[in-house]
């Protein structure tokens, strides 16, 4: 009998993808949109104030609908490949809604933003919640709600520094959970909540990020065409951030891997 670290191939793949996510810069889409929307660039960072985003977060209903929630939990949570497949389905669902909503809002320009921001916040929070369910994390404690909000901040990071800070914060927050939080599936319903500090922190970051993205909806000739792309790109970033964060929690609970670096020794029979 000997002791050695044995990591299944599928986990090795996920570890590599986790490292790639850490190493990558923040989303490139806002920077590209800033160039496209240069004619109205003076609105960037002012179009969607942080207090508007904060109100949208607090008013968002982040309960997953019955059918989508069922699809997110009808698999073996200990099977990482099954969790990954469920997450991919949630991502497709979110992108479909994002394209439809973004296109409709873009067609109405500035007026459409009044409805688009709350709808985008609700969809983003639901997406994060559903991705968590896919990996077996569905508790309703305050710690879980703050974790969800900080995933939203990771998705909205406007710089490499903000992204690194968000990842570090999520890593620290994992100490607020233990193994009993895995496979504890409780429906979070009603309006979003979470610590006041977390909500304000996320709102400040999102205000800049969403202003940069959505200013293109007001640019000449763009409107509905770019609105769909803007929302889809944002929800894609949200889904990627949620997958990263909940993968890390799954790896810690099921494989003893912390931050894709520390692996618990396991005895392996030969």
Q: Is residue 176 scored above 80 in pLDDT? A: yes
pLDDT tier at 220, thresholds 50, 70, 90:
very low
Domains of the chain, by residue range, sit at: 2-268
Confidence band, pLDDT 50/70/90 cuts, at residue 29? low
The answer to whether 198 and 58 have CB atoms below 8 angstroms apart is no
Predicted pLDDT of residue 268: 39
Judge whether residue 107 has pLDDT over 50.
no
CA–CA gap between residue 217 and residue 221 (Å, rounded): 9
How far apart are the C-alpha atoms of 194 and 189, rounded to whole Å?
13
Contact of 207 with 30, CB cutoff 8 Å: no
What pLDDT digit, counting tens, does each position of 61-104 carry? 666 555 566 667 788 999 999 999 999 999 998 888 877 755 44
């Amino acid at each position: 009998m000997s002791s050695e670290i044995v990591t299944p191939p599928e986990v090795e793949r996920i570890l590599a993808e986790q490292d790639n996510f850490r190493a990558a810069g923040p989303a490139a889409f806002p920077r590209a949109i800033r160039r496209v929307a240069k004619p109205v660039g003076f609105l960037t960072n002012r179009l969607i104030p942080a207090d508007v985003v904060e109100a949208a977060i607090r008013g968002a209903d982040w309960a997953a609908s019955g059918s989508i929630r069922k699809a997110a939990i009808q698999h073996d949570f200990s099977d990482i490949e099954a969790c990954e497949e469920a997450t991919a389905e949630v991502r497709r669902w979110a992108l479909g809604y994002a394209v439809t909503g973004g296109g409709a809002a873009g067609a109405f320009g500035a007026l459409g933003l009044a409805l688009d921001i709350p709808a985008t916040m609700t969809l983003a929070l639901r997406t994060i919640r559903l991705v968590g369910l896919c990996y077996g994390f569905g508790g309703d404690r305050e710690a879980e709600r703050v974790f969800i909000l900080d995933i939203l901040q990771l998705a909205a990071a406007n710089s490499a520094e903000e992204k690194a800070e968000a990842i570090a914060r999520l890593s620290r927050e994992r100490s607020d959970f233990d193994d009993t939080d895995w496979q504890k599936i409780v429906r979070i319903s009603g309006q979003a909540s979470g610590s006041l500090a977390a909500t304000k922190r996320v709102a400040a970051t999102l205000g800049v990020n969403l202003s940069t993205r959505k200013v293109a909806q007001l640019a000449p000739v763009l409107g509905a065409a770019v609105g769909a792309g803007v929302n889809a790109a944002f929800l894609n970033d949200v889904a990627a951030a949620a997958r990263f964060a909940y993968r890390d929690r799954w790896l810690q609970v099921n494989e003893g891997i912390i931050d894709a670096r520390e692996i618990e020794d396991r005895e392996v029979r030969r």
